[in-house]
Amino acid sequence: MVVFARLPKRWAKISVHGPVHGVLTSELSSAGYLNVSLLLQFPFKSPNRFPMEVRKIDASEITHEQFINEHWKPGIPLVFKNASKVWEANGTFTPDWFRSKFGDRKTTVEGTEYTMNEIMDLVEGKDTSRPVPYPCKYHLPTQLPETLSMLSPLSMGFAKPNWLESSWFKRGYWGSALELFIGGPGGKFPYVHVDYYHLSAWINQLYGHKQFTVWPKGQEECMYPEPGNEWKSAIPDIENVDLEKFPKYKNATPITFVVGPGETLFIPFGTWHTAKSLEPTISVAFDLLNDHNFPLFLKDVWSFKKDQSKAKAIAAMGYAAVGGAVCRIGDMMGVQRGGTHN
C-alpha cells in the first residue's frame, strides 16, 4: 500500500500506528509543499511485498542503520552505487587484467575444463568456435586466493554482521561461497531460484552490465517450486512461460533492472531471482547470514542434511545452533569479523 500526501513544510510529520513497516521518502515542491511518499508494508502475505521498482542509491547517501531498517528487515532489494569503491578490485577486474595475471588458471564448467584465457576469449567473442559456457565461476579462496586482499573490507560497510565470516560457518559447507562470475552476452542463469539456506546474496558488478529479475516475496506459488528442490523454479524458460502449464504465473509481478560497473545488488533471503549478462561481465558474489535469517537457515540445514541421514542432520543442527549462539553473543559484544574469506 502506498500513501501519498502533500503537506506544508512545517507540518512534515506523519504518525503511523499498528504493526506496519514503512519506507518514507520526501521531496520539496516549488510551491513549498513537501511531497511525501510512504510505502506501508503490512505483516500479512501480499502479492507485492516491495515496490515495483528496485531502488538505486549512492552508498554515501544511506547509513547502515537505514539500510537495515528500510531494506534488510522488510526484505526489499537494493542497488548500491559506489559501495565497492572501497575495493581495490573496483576498476581493476577486467578481462585483460585477468588474462595478464591468471591466464592459465583453470576452472570447470559443466564438466569441461577452461583456462582463464579461454574463458575471456569466449565471452569477448574472440573465439566463436564453441558456445560461451555460463556461469563460469572461480571459487576465490581456493582458485584465486591472490585476489582476496583486493576485496577488503568485504562488507563494504553494509553487509554486516556476517556470521559466514566467523570460523563457525565455513563457506562452501553451508551453501555459501565467495565467487567470481564471468559471463558473455546473452549468458543467463539456467533457472530461477532462491539462494540455498535462505542466505542473502550480495552481487558486486565490476565489469559490464548484467540484467536481473526479482519477484516480490509472497509470490512463491506463482514460481512453482520444484518438488524436492523447493529453492528452484520448475518453470524452464522464465522469459517465455507456458501459462497453460503454469497458470499461476500470470499473477506474478517480475521486476527487471540492470546493474552496471561499480554497483552492488543486495538480494534478501527468500527472494526469487535470476540474471542474464548483456555483454562481457565480471562480478563477485558472496552471501550473508546473521540473526535475522538464522531461523530459516536452521530449517534448511535440517531439510538438506536429513536427505543424507537423520544422524547427520541432528549433528549439523546442533553444531549450527551452538555456532549461532556464539555469533549472536559476539554481535552483542561488538565483535568485528572479516578478513578470513573462508
The Cα 102–Cα 116 span in angstroms is 6
Grid coordinates standing for 79? Answer: 542497488
Residue 309: count other Cβ atoms within 10 Å of its Cβ.
10
Query: Has residue 342 been placed in a domain?
Result: no
Exposure of 172 in the CB half-sphere (CA atoms within 13 A): 10
Grid coordinates standing for 123? Answer: 565471452
Query: Has residue 62 been placed in a domain?
Result: yes
Distances 33 to 39, 79, 198 between C-alpha atoms, Å: 19, 29, 43
Question: Which pLDDT does position 49 carry in this prediction?
Answer: 56
Query: Has residue 338 been placed in a domain?
Result: no
Q: Are 189 and 314 in contact (CB under 8 A)?
A: no
Is omega for the bond preceding 153 within 30 degrees of 0, making it cis? yes
Name 224's Cβ contacts closer than 8 Å, sequence gap at least 6: 233, 234, 235, 246, 248, 249
- The closest alpha carbon to 105, from 149, 154, 140, 148, belongs to 140
> H-type helices in the chain, by residue range?
64-67, 95-102, 116-123, 140-143, 294-305, 310-332
185 shares a domain with 233: yes
190 shares a domain with 104: yes
The Cα 149–Cα 145 span in angstroms is 8
68 shares a domain with 38: no
Question: Which pLDDT does position 9 carry in this prediction?
Answer: 34
Query: Has residue 339 been placed in a domain?
Result: no
- Beta strands in 165-294, from DSSP E residues, in sequence order: 179-183, 200-207, 210-215, 225-226, 229-233, 255-259, 263-267, 272-277, 281-288
101 shares a domain with 5: no
106 shares a domain with 14: no
Q: Which of 12, 28, 44 is the last residue of a domain?
A: 44
The whole domain housing 16 covers 1-44
For the entire predicted model, the pTM comes to: 0.82
Question: Which pLDDT does position 10 carry in this prediction?
Answer: 32
The Cα 334–Cα 331 span in angstroms is 5
Domain count, the chain: 2
Grid coordinates standing for 160? Answer: 554486516
- Which residues on neighbouring strands pair with residue 138, listed in sequence order? 180
55 shares a domain with 33: no
122 shares a domain with 9: no
56 shares a domain with 26: no
149 shares a domain with 98: yes
Count, residues in the chain? 342
Distances 107 to 96, 136, 171, 273 between C-alpha atoms, Å: 18, 8, 18, 25
Query: Has residue 228 been placed in a domain?
Result: yes
Query: Has residue 12 been placed in a domain?
Result: yes
The Cα 26–Cα 74 span in angstroms is 20
The Cα 266–Cα 50 span in angstroms is 14
Q: Are 107 and 137 in contact (CB under 8 A)?
A: yes
Question: Which pLDDT does position 51 carry in this prediction?
Answer: 62
> Which of helix, strand or coil describes residue 78?
strand
pLDDT in tens, the chain (342 residues): 333 333 333 333 333 333 333 343 334 433 333 333 334 333 333 444 566 689 999 999 999 999 999 999 999 999 999 999 999 999 999 999 999 999 999 999 989 999 999 999 999 988 777 778 878 999 999 999 999 999 999 999 999 999 998 889 877 677 778 999 999 998 888 899 999 899 999 999 999 999 999 999 889 999 999 998 889 999 999 999 999 999 999 999 999 999 999 999 999 999 999 999 999 999 999 999 999 999 999 999 988 888 888 898 999 999 999 999 999 999 998 877 655 455
Question: Which pLDDT does position 133 carry in this prediction?
Answer: 80
Query: Has residue 88 been placed in a domain?
Result: yes
Give the CATH number for residue 297: 2.60.120.650
23 shares a domain with 75: no
80 shares a domain with 30: no
66 shares a domain with 34: no
Question: Which pLDDT does position 228 carry in this prediction?
Answer: 85
Grid coordinates standing for 337? Answer: 569479523
Q: Looking at this protein, which amino acid is placed at residue 89?
A: A
Q: Are 223 and 233 in contact (CB under 8 A)?
A: yes
Query: Has residue 29 been placed in a domain?
Result: yes
